[in-house]
Structure 1
Amino acid sequence: MRGICVWLITGGILWAFLTQTETIGFGQESSRPNVLLIISDDQAWKDYGFMGHAVIQTPHLDRLARESLVYTRGYVPDSLCRPSLATIITGLYPHQHGITGNDPKLPDPKVNPMAGRARPEFGRFYETLMRRIEAHPTLPRLLGEAGYISLQTGKWWEGAYTRGGFTEGMTHGDPKRGGRHGDAGLAIGRQGLEPIFDFILKAKEAGKPFFVWYAPMMPHAPHTPPEKYLKKYLRPDLSPAQSRYYAMCEWFDQTCGDLITFLEKEKLRDSTLIVYLADNGWIQDPDRPNQFAPRSKRSPYDGGIRTPIMLSWPGKISPLRDDKNLASSIDIAPTVLAACGLLVPSNLPGINLLDREAVQKRRSIFGEIYEHDVADVDHPTKSLSFRWIIQENWKLIVPADPRGKPELYDVVADPLETRDLAGTHPDLVKKLNEELDGWWSGKE
């Protein structure tokens, strides 16, 4: 029986210690795992029971956390879904894969970019962005070269699922039929998990290793949870908008539990590597349903870019909660490839999160925030709003506008980033800015 990598992508005390390659069994064909990627969509890093939320209940993810290597200081480079998802599947920063926004800005300002997808005269702008995913060795492409079959479900912005290298999928990507960010694939989770169950059973029967992309539009708006979840959060200290978002988090958690239960039922759990993260954060505006508050989605603050990252493979990875070291979604691709016994492309900037020595040696992670619409598809970094660096407990945010002022936070002592310390630590600001420029050097 082959193993499985399950990825869950959404937002201490050490439980145990993880040994490295000899524990995971890298390179052994018999231990090569299948891959199931689960990505939460628009969920804040603290909106889980295991992350200490006082109200939101996530029993299934809490259990997964107890069985996982958990990096509670996980991050995504950009706090917008499309570039973030592209980073997860390619292992590249947005300025490297070139997908820096959700939609192109069109030359006719009277046309909404979302409505312009089906207009032939604007086709080049959309196609230029979508072609970029074909230029990179995505995870399903690399795994396919090793004999994996793959399934796309949920959020997917890059046209038809085949453009990302999947062998099967739910998203057709045709703008004339409403294709934009997942189309038919957006039914997954909200309307059951049968496409994933059927695919896994087919792969199991064929004896083929598999990769599944489970990126449901959950807890993403519209916040329309079933009554059985909503009624648990209808309380006087929560606004109706908060109640609905909180209920969505639990509904999403239940779908994760259903996936794990299915793997257990099919005797696949022990051969499954589970990796969990969110594509970006979300802080619910208490007064506006389906709207995010400031300093969350699309911002450079932790409310937008921080997420727990979990990896679980029973008997292979010892449970560990790491509240100190930094992890990034650029690490997902090299981590999974290494766990599957495959070579990691030399151009990937991330590290293998199962290599504890490499994780502990890392001092800094980086990111870049862009506008929602790509100002110039031929020069994708023109939409840059901010760059950021986190080094140990310090986080520097640098606006792209030279008139803007850098912000400095101690995100360990001040995780909500309420105290800007740039004015009292000018030397540290200068040092971190130089490191950020060094990382960015030579970029467009």
Structure 2
Amino acid sequence: MMHQSRMFRLQTRFLIVLAALAGFCLACPPSRAADPVNVVMIISDDQAWTDYGFMGHPDIKTPNLDQLASESAVFRRGYVPTALCRPSLVTLLTGHYASTHGVTGNDPSPKYAERGSELYNQRCAQLISYLDRFDTVPEILGQRGYLSHQSGKLWEGSYQNCGFTHGMTRGFPKPGGRHGDDGLKIGRESMQPVEEFLDLAHESKKPFFVWYAPFLPHSPHNPPQRLLDKYTDKHPITVARYYAMCEWFDETCGELLGMIDDKGFRDNTLVVYVTDNGWIQDPESPKYAPRSKQTPYEGGIRTPIMYRLPGVIPAGERPELTSSIDIVPTMLAATGSEIPKDLPGLNLMPNLTSGEKISRDTIYGEGFAHDIADIEDPEASLLYRWAISGPWKLLLTYDGEVNRYKSTHPRDEKGPQLFNLIDDPSEETNLAKENPDVVARLAKQIEEWYPVEKRKTIVTPGASTDR
């Protein structure tokens, strides 16, 4: 017994030494033992999941993101739970679904309070205050001594209000503080604020978190002429402008990643990539096409999601489904931070480092109107709930109020919509009538995930599926 016990201790010590050499701690989430892991989050703004070279687009040039993809764990079947920028971004700050964090749309409805009125401003302030109910990523990392920098889109007040130590956005109620103000200059005008922050982090020898969410390729689509010229011969001008914006965004990502390399941060920095919501360019106008932004179709919610941490996360294609709801717990785990116990997403670091398959088989999402009818009742603006399981995607729709922005959404359909995404990625054929068992199973799972009042349902699993 004594001999066996000693052998066990020696084996344990040997494993600990091996883990230390590999940069891991057996008692901690996967992270480098010697130095805290830095985190850089790149968030595209209004870009379709198809619109990258590495995703197979025949024309759009994205060499920098293609290179990032070649060095990352790439989830081609990535999704955001909500196809609208503000609620999607709050999910990336808090790790919660919109129905939980309460910021379900971009603005309070002007139908019930005139924009700029005292009541409207009160409602804007109340929406921002919902962030106080959660620990944000920069706040959690700040407790571990991290510096953090915000640039680009931000709706929830100033960068300080969100827990960043440094940043660009002054925020509501400052002039122009609706969705980013000074932060929206990043990428479009200069990358200098981010570079100065990285220099500060280097000099102070502190770990850092970078939130890079430029107003790109978001409209206005006004790319540099040198990029626009690449696309005008083959495409309508509206499409050419959008394609050039995608390439412009890619260039700025290259600048950012180049800074990480040049300052010696590459090997100890987790880079995360995601889009806040999709966009399909209307060839006839500067606007987006139907089944795009604000809808639960693939053009609204699908995005590649990438994780790069050299020497820790093997590069390669990941076939599993994943969601941006997983990004917060995964980033926190990579830094060795404590993950709030109530987060609904998965910590993917064990799967990313080991290559093991993610055990979850279903992801969920929801959608609300752009204008929030009742900021204290998310269901007042609820338009849809959805689930994806294996090849199947089910959309259920609701009678939430749509005000200023009357985008195409699935309430125009007369019943639940079921698509086989593997055979029909463009969602052309509704298979709900032929597969009632699949509809019933996924509808039950959706209800268990996010129950809603039945009076708000306008189409149910038993309704007609005629189109």
Distance 1:122 1:411 in 2: 41
Distance 2:257 2:32 in 1: 25
Which residue of structure 2 aligns with residue 419 of structure 1?
Answer: 429
Match status 1:272 vs 2:282? no
Aligned-pair distance for 1:370?
0.6
Contact 1:69 1:317 in 2 (8 A): yes
Distance 1:334 1:267 in 2: 26
Q: Residues 21 and 309 (structure 1 numbering): CA distance in 2 closer, same or farther, change over 3 Å?
A: farther
Match status 1:331 vs 2:329? no
Q: Specify the SS of the correspondent of 2:74.
A: strand
Aligned-pair distance for 1:35?
1.5
Contact 2:112 2:373 in 1 (8 A): no
Within the candidate set 140, 149, 152, 1:151 is matched to 149
Which residue of structure 2 aligns with residue 3 of structure 1?
Answer: none
1:16-64 superposed Cα distances (whole Å, 9 cap, x missing partner): xxxx999672355524211211100000001000000011010000010
Contact 2:108 2:120 in 1 (8 A): no
Distance 1:368 1:284 in 2: 23
Compare 99-108 and 306-315 and name the one that shifted more. Answer: 99-108
Q: Aligned runs of 1:11-410 on 2, under 5 Å? A: 25=24, 26=30, 29-106=33-110, 108=112, 111=114, 116=115, 118-236=116-234, 238-289=235-286, 291-322=287-318, 324-356=319-351, 359-401=357-399, 404-410=414-420
Which amino acid counterpart does residue 264 of structure 1 have in structure 2? Answer: D
Q: Specify the SS of the correspondent of 1:233.
A: coil
Contact 2:394 2:439 in 1 (8 A): yes
Distance 1:64 1:23 in 2: 23
Contact 1:153 1:188 in 2 (8 A): yes
Q: Residues 38 and 343 (structure 1 numbering): CA distance in 2 closer, same or farther, change over 3 Å?
A: same
Distance 1:317 1:23 in 2: 12
Q: Residues 370 and 442 (structure 1 numbering): CA distance in 2 closer, same or farther, change over 3 Å?
A: closer
Match status 1:438 vs 2:448? yes
Distance 2:356 2:391 in 1: 18
Which residue of structure 1 aligns with residue 9 of structure 2?
Answer: none
Contact 2:330 2:348 in 1 (8 A): yes
Contact 1:335 1:351 in 2 (8 A): yes
Aligned-pair distance for 1:121?
3.5
Structure 1: runs of 5 or more not aligned: 1-19
Aligned-pair distance for 1:432?
0.8
Compare 135-144 and 373-382 and name the one that shifted more. Answer: 373-382
Which protein has greater RCO, CA pairs closer than 8 Å, 6+ apart? 1
Q: Residues 298 and 164 (structure 1 numbering): CA distance in 2 closer, same or farther, change over 3 Å?
A: same
Aligned-pair distance for 1:75?
0.2
Distance 2:327 2:174 in 1: 33
Structure 2: runs of 5 or more not aligned: 1-18, 25-29, 400-410, 457-467
1:265-316 superposed Cα distances (whole Å, 9 cap, x missing partner): 1111112111101000000000102x10000100010100000000111122
Contact 2:131 2:156 in 1 (8 A): yes
Which residue of structure 1 aligns with residue 402 of structure 2?
Answer: none
Which amino acid counterpart does residue 326 of structure 1 have in structure 2? Answer: L
Contact 2:32 2:268 in 1 (8 A): no
Q: How well do the aligned residues superpose, as a CA RMSD in angstroms? A: 2.0
Which amino acid counterpart does residue 47 of structure 1 have in structure 2? Answer: D
Q: Specify the SS of the correspondent of 1:175.
A: coil
Report sequence identity in percent: 48
Distance 1:277 1:23 in 2: 28
Q: Specify the SS of the correspondent of 1:293.
A: coil
Q: Specify the SS of the correspondent of 2:229.
A: helix
Q: Specify the SS of the correspondent of 2:161.
A: helix
Contact 1:151 1:199 in 2 (8 A): yes
Contact 1:23 1:317 in 2 (8 A): no
Aligned residues: 416
Q: Residues 159 and 105 (structure 1 numbering): CA distance in 2 closer, same or farther, change over 3 Å?
A: same
Distance 2:111 2:215 in 1: 30
Q: Specify the SS of the correspondent of 2:130.
A: helix
Distance 1:193 1:255 in 2: 8
Aligned-pair distance for 1:124?
1.7
1:114-155 superposed Cα distances (whole Å, 9 cap, x missing partner): xx2x43342221111000112111100110111111111100
Which amino acid counterpart does residue 382 of structure 1 have in structure 2? Answer: A
Aligned-pair distance for 1:317?
1.2
Contact 2:138 2:162 in 1 (8 A): yes
Contact 2:387 2:446 in 1 (8 A): yes
- TM-score if structure 1 supplies the norm length? 0.90
Contact 1:149 1:210 in 2 (8 A): yes
Which amino acid counterpart does residue 82 of structure 2 have in structure 1? Answer: D
Aligned-pair distance for 1:193?
0.6
